[in-house]
Chain A
Amino acid sequence: MRHLLLLAIGIAVAGCAQNRPATRADSTTDDRYVPRIVCAATPSQLTPHALPPAQGRGSRVDFRGAAQCVHDADGAKVPALLYRIDGIATPIALRARLLTDGDNALAVGVSVLDARFGEIDRFGFDRFQQRGSDYQLDAFINRSEPPAAYLLLTPDSAWMDRKARQVTGSRWVAPIITPTLIATYADGSEGSRQVRFRDMGELTLRAIPEQGSSAAP
């Protein structure tokens, strides 16, 4: 009886560890994030998140903070976010926005999985478009057999540590205040920065039933 109890506790602890959100204590290898938690062998062992509400821009999710760990096709441990979408009627308009933070830009790919975790479709980071300083995917998930049930977000290894330049124009305004005159002086400047694609950063995700028209803006 005592052995059974210990076994049950052991299984429970292992399960909790497997689904524990990653923390800052987890390590990086060559700047790549490798969660030090028990790693799921397949996506089917991950705990799926519910999608944020369809209205508005959706709440931000910190990728490393929310990611669990899964072994990819090559056996490497990678951080992964799993979302359940099987309650949403297809076709689905999917919008994922990866937020650039300083010089770091999150670069993930999105896999569309069926209920048995078989891959139906995959949107690599090359399908994301730069909008402002962020990167956004607008895609459709069509009716399929078997139907789509999950979205799996993992770093796009082809993009890790690659760099891109972002040039933007901006306006600045300075007040001019004298005893006889109050006015403003405005001019513009060009900013240029190099962002590095990484497996860290925040994202927003929306998946809503498609109603006819598409995409931005």
Chain B
Amino acid sequence: MLPFAKSEIDLLIVNNPGYNLGLIGAGIAEAHRLPKRNWLRRQVASDGFDHLEVFRARFTEAMQARGYRLQWPEPLVVVKNVKVPRATLGLRKSYRPVSSDAQMDIGFGFIGYAAAGTQDSAPYRPTVVAAAKLISADGKNPLFTEVVNYNEVFGFYEGKAIVLQPDDAFRYPDFDDLEAAGPTAVSGLKAAFEATADKLAEQFGPVQ
């Protein structure tokens, strides 16, 4: 497994009308969004939730059940001063030879809570966009590429990504509801990362 790119839990109203009304509108929308995002990050930190560790643990377990042994790097995230050219969804543009049988690159797009719009009928839901690429040991041949989208709210990958339906237990019509949920909101993120890891592993065959 190759080191992850740095990724942080976020919060977003995907089609916020403010972003459509010039710099002033976008500024107002961001002014509303950032305190909410910061609350979510504080909540995640206070719960000791590390999305990469949750993903690593679940993906390792799910791949083991299918007969694969994963070797994870230390540290898990690329160190700050190492520049890695990346393409879509954080996947690398090129790969070096490795000594293992193959190498896997996993990148995350949006991760956190996202709502499709501003109305209560477009609730905040846990959302994960993850891409995986398996490359030959010599770094030359892509063997497998896949995108998994837990809660398809963006539409960018419609028809291409594997869609995972969000769990209604973590549906919050308004930010106040999300805030009131407190630690439960973090449980929603954990469930989303675990479901994403399971679905990616499922692409490598049935449990043995």
Contact = CB atoms under 8 A, between A and B. Distances in A.
Contacts of B16: 187
B122 A185 contact: no
B151 A216 contact: no
B122 A131 contact: no
Contact of A130 (B14, B116, B162): B162
Interface in B125-155: 125, 141-147, 151-155
Interface in A174-215: 183-190, 212-215
B158 interface: yes
A187 B118 contact: yes
A186 B203 contact: no
Contacts of A215: 144-146, 203
A130 B166 CA distance: 13
Contacts of A217: 145-147, 157, 160-161
Contact of B145 (A134, A164, A166, A216): A216
Given A164-B165, A167-B151, A190-B122, A213 B17 contact: no
25 contacts: A132-B160, A165-B165, A166-B165, A167-B152, A167-B165, A168-B153, A169-B117, A169-B122, A169-B152, A169-B155, A170-B116, A171-B14, A171-B117, A184-B20, A187-B15, A188-B117, A188-B118, A188-B153, A189-B122, A190-B116, A190-B121, A213-B144, A213-B145, A215-B145, A217-B147
B188 interface: no
Given A188-B15, A189-B117, A214-B145, A171 B155 contact: yes
A213 B115 CA distance: 35
Contact of A171 (B15, B21, B165): B15
Interface string B155-184: 101111111111000000000000000000
Interface in A147-180: 164-172
Contacts, number: 111
A150 to B, nearest CB: 23
| Secondary structure dominating the interface of B | loop
A216 B144 CA distance: 8
Interface of A: 129-132, 134, 164-172, 183-190, 212-217
Contacts of A172: 15
A3 B10 CA distance: 82
A16 B166 CA distance: 49
B165 A132 contact: no
B152 A185 contact: no
Contacts of B112: none
A183 B17 CA distance: 12
A169 B105 CA distance: 28
Contacts of B143: 212-214
B94 interface: no
A131 B161 contact: yes
A75 B71 CA distance: 50
A216 B163 contact: no
Interface in B15-45: 15-17, 20-21
B64 interface: no
Contacts of B155: 168-171
